[in-house]
């Protein structure tokens, strides 16, 4: 029986941020199952260790870092060896009516969702830590694209829209080095980000009824899309936003 697998990550080293929970944690674990060596980072040592314990294979590393802290980011960059892939998962949600969205609150959301991943990426590129033919995947959101919007979600949506736009410019700029930049844009996914969010269980059920496939996503649904974009199976895909949304934007 053939072992052919165009989605394999054998021989690739991949950095995953936000790896201590949710999509980041699942992505790191699934990448290890596909043969990758992982560098995982997060700010919570105990939860990051839980992820690390679930990685398959050998040669993985974990680095505690707060990505909004300049010293931590510089240390993370210096401790990374060459990377074939980068998954920028760390983020936060904030649901508020626009009249309460002060500049300080916008700055807080953008600091985590936009400034931190873009600065980490900039420093990794400047240090030439991302190899030729490498792949960078931003975890964005359908909230950052034209289409379905939800009330009181302007700050989150704006930060993700900024990520999507930046991704496209990076994709054009680094095409000569054959480094690819893409995003995955999920709709609602069952992670701690929504489980401890502002909507009630009743509101969640009402919203879920709008999904043609009848459910919210699971972290595994998103991780598999990320693996496609990291793998050589997507070697002709760059500057693309992969929507993974259960059909809700149809």
Residues 6+ apart with CB under 8 A from 19: 25, 27, 28, 38, 40, 41, 42, 48, 51, 62, 89
- In this structure, what token pair is assigned to residue 71? 């010293």
181, HSE (Cβ side, Cα atoms, 13 Å): 24
Q: What pLDDT, on the 0 to 100 scale, is given for residue 195?
A: 58
Rounded Cα distance between 90 and 41, Å, is 9
* CB of 244 closer than 8 Å to CB of 217: yes
| Residue 21: CB atoms within 10 Å | 20
* CB of 92 closer than 8 Å to CB of 141: no
Rounded Cα distance between 16 and 237, Å, is 20
pLDDT tens, 75-87? Answer: 999 999 999 999 9
Per DSSP bridges, beta strands 241-244 and 180-186 are parallel
DSSP reduced 3-state for 110: helix
* CB of 197 closer than 8 Å to CB of 93: yes
Q: Domain extents for the chain?
A: 13-190+218-244
Residues 6+ apart with CB under 8 A from 92: 109, 112, 113, 193
Q: What pLDDT, on the 0 to 100 scale, is given for residue 81?
A: 92
Q: Which residues of the chain have pLDDT under 50?
A: none
Q: What pLDDT, on the 0 to 100 scale, is given for residue 3?
A: 87
Q: What pLDDT, on the 0 to 100 scale, is given for residue 215?
A: 93
pLDDT tens, 196-247? Answer: 555 678 888 888 999 999 999 999 999 999 999 999 999 999 999 999 999 9
Pick the CATH number of 13-190+218-244 from 3.50.50.60, 3.40.190.10, 2.30.30.100, 3.40.50.720: 3.40.50.720
- In this structure, what token pair is assigned to residue 148? 């379905």
């Amino acid at each position: 029986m053939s072992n052919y697998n165009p989605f394999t990550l054998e021989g690739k080293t991949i950095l995953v941020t936000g790896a201590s929970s949710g999509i980041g944690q699942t992505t790191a674990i699934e990448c290890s199952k596909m043969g990758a060596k992982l560098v995982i980072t997060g700010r919570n040592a105990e939860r990051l260790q839980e992820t690390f314990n679930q990685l398959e294979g050998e040669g993985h590393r974990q680095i505690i870092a707060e990505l909004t802290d300049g010293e931590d980011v510089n240390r993370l960059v210096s401790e990374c060896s060459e990377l074939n892939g980068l998954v920028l998962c760390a983020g936060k949600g904030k649901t508020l009516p626009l009249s309460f969205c002060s500049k300080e609150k916008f700055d807080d959301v953008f600091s985590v969702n936009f400034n931190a991943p873009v600065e980490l990426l900039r420093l990794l590129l400047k240090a030439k830590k991302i190899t030729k033919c490498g792949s960078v995947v931003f975890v964005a959101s359908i909230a950052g694209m034209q289409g379905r919007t939800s009330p009181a979600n302007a700050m989150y949506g704006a930060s993700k829209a900024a990520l999507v736009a930046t991704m496209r410019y990076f994709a054009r700029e680094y095409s000569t080095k054959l480094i690819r930049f893409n995003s995955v844009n999920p709709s609602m996914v069952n992670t701690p980000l929504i489980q401890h969010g502002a909507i009630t269980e009743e509101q969640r059920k009402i919203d879920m009824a709008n999904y043609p496939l009848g459910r919210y996503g699971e972290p595994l649904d998103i991780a598999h899309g990320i693996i496609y974009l990291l793998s050589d199976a997507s070697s002709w895909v760059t500057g693309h936003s992969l929507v993974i949304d259960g059909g809700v934007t149809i």
